[in-house]
Amino acid sequence: MSKHQIVSGLPFAEYKKNPGVNASFLKKFNVSPKHAVEDVFEGNDATDLGSYIHALALDPSSLSQFNCMPTTGEGSRTARAIWLKENPEGILLSPKQMENGKACAQVIKEYDLFREFVSMDGYEPEVTILTEHPKYGFPMKARLDMLVRNENGIWIGDIKSFGGSNNSNAMTKKSLFYCIRDRGYDLQLVHYRRCIQQVLNRTPEAMYLFFVETGTPGHDRIRVELDEGWLAHAEMRLDEYYRIYNDCWLSGVYPGINFGSPLKLTLGDTL
């Protein structure tokens, strides 16, 4: 099997089984290598809603992992706990979340710039890239929401939900800037670009983030394209994370803090 591959339609569970550094892992290096290795993802209302919007807009075959159960009323807590225990990989939504997700997905699908993207020749959703770093040789991978490949070029698209505890309800230029920077979406895009360059020896013509508001009744949507100055800065950070990861990968040592772990304090004589 070739070490450089583009795979269409690979289930996400199978994607996770493949070794390789991906964008989600690299973003955690902003805390520390130790955090990247030891952190265990725990979903919350915002991430669950985002996953549901993604499934509705791009991957209807994955909707079977979602269920809707009330959060209030007699026995609701017990019923939800039983379902989650029986479906450890499933995502449980409240009726309000499910209706909100359907509305957000519909807004995205009706967005003219989104419809233009998915109607391009060579469009594919849920594309997996498997490759190796050209200098260090460690395995890399990426999971692209949307990829277009045709004789005129390559385009990348990604759906993002805007809302939750770290965002204000309404999108503004300022809030979008902090959202993209703080969540590492710029790193994600340049990692995707590196993987494409490694496998196809071509550079994408453009990379788009399609945002939809989840916390407003209107569910505004917008397409964002980062300029080359921002992407160049993200590439510098990405190269540093690749270098640090290679040192850790070769030595088997991942130093640093694991964000969220309890602090061990030693009180001095003056306290």
CATH value at residue 24? 3.90.320.10
Predicted TM-score (pTM) of this structure: 0.89
Q: How many domains does the chain have?
A: 1
Percent of the chain whose pLDDT exceeds 70: 92
Please choose, from the candidates 197, 271, 196, 189, the residue with its C-alpha nearest in 3D space to the C-alpha of residue 238: 189
- Kindly state whether residue 121 falls inside one of the protein's structural domains: yes
102 within a domain of the structure (yes/no): yes
Radius of gyration for the alpha carbons in the chain, expressed in angstroms and rounded: 20
In this structure, how many other beta carbons lie within 10 angstroms of the beta carbon of residue 67?
15
In the chain, % of residues over pLDDT 90: 68
Query: Is residue 1 over pLDDT 60?
Result: no
Q: Is residue 84 part of a domain?
A: no
Q: Report the C-alpha gap between 8 and 218 in whole angstroms.
A: 34
Q: Pick the residue with more confidence: 245 or 45?
A: 245
DSSP 88: T
3-state SS class at 162: strand
Q: How would DSSP label each residue in 8-73?
A: ES--HHHHHHS--B-HHHHHGGGT-HHHHHH------HHHHHHHHHHHHHH-GGGGGGEEE--SSS
Euclidean distance between CA atoms 189 and 166, whole angstroms: 20
Mean of the pLDDT values across residues 166-174? 74
pLDDT score, position 268: 62
How high is the pLDDT of residue 216? 86
For residue 271, pLDDT beyond 60: no
Q: Identify whether 25 is part of a domain.
A: yes
Report the pLDDT value the prediction gives residue 263, as an integer from 0 to 100: 63
> Does 183 reside within a domain?
yes
Q: pLDDT digit string (tens) for 205-261? A: 999 999 999 988 889 999 999 999 999 999 999 999 999 999 999 999 999 877 666
pLDDT digits (tens, 9 = 90+) for 102-111: 999 999 999 9
If residue 170 lies in a helix (H) or strand (E), which one and from where to where? none
Instruction: List CB contacts of 163: < 8 A, sequence separation 6 or more.
Output: 46, 49, 169, 213, 214, 215
Whether residue 31 lies inside any domain: the answer is yes
* Domain presence at residue 91: no
pLDDT digits (tens, 9 = 90+) for 97-139: 999 999 999 999 999 999 999 999 999 999 999 999 999 999 9
Place of tokens 């996953």: 51
pLDDT greater than 80 at residue 3? no
In a domain, 130, yes or no: yes
Angle at 39 between CA 37 and CA 12, to 5 degrees: 85
| Residue 155 amino acid letter | W
What pLDDT does residue 217 have?
Answer: 85
Q: How far apart are CA 48 and CA 89, in angstroms?
A: 12
Decide if 209 contacts 185 (C-beta within 8 A).
yes
Residue 70 confidence class, pLDDT cut points 50, 70, 90: confident
Q: What is the pLDDT of residue 266?
A: 67
- Confidence at residue 265, expressed as pLDDT on a 0 to 100 scale: 66
Residue 249's Cβ-count burial label (10 Å; 0-12, 13-18, 19+) is middle
> What is the amino acid identity at position 118?
V
Question: Is pLDDT above 90 for 44?
Answer: no
Q: Which two tokens stand for residue 92?
A: 């449980």
Domain extent at residue 10? 5-42+98-251
Is 49 a residue whose pLDDT tops 50?
yes
Report helix, strand or coil for 145: strand
Residue 13 pLDDT grade (very low, low, confident, very high; cuts 50, 70, 90): confident
Among 66-70, 145-149, 251-255, 257-261, name the one with the lowest average pLDDT: 257-261
Instruction: Give the residue, 45 or 237, on which the prediction is more confident.
Output: 237
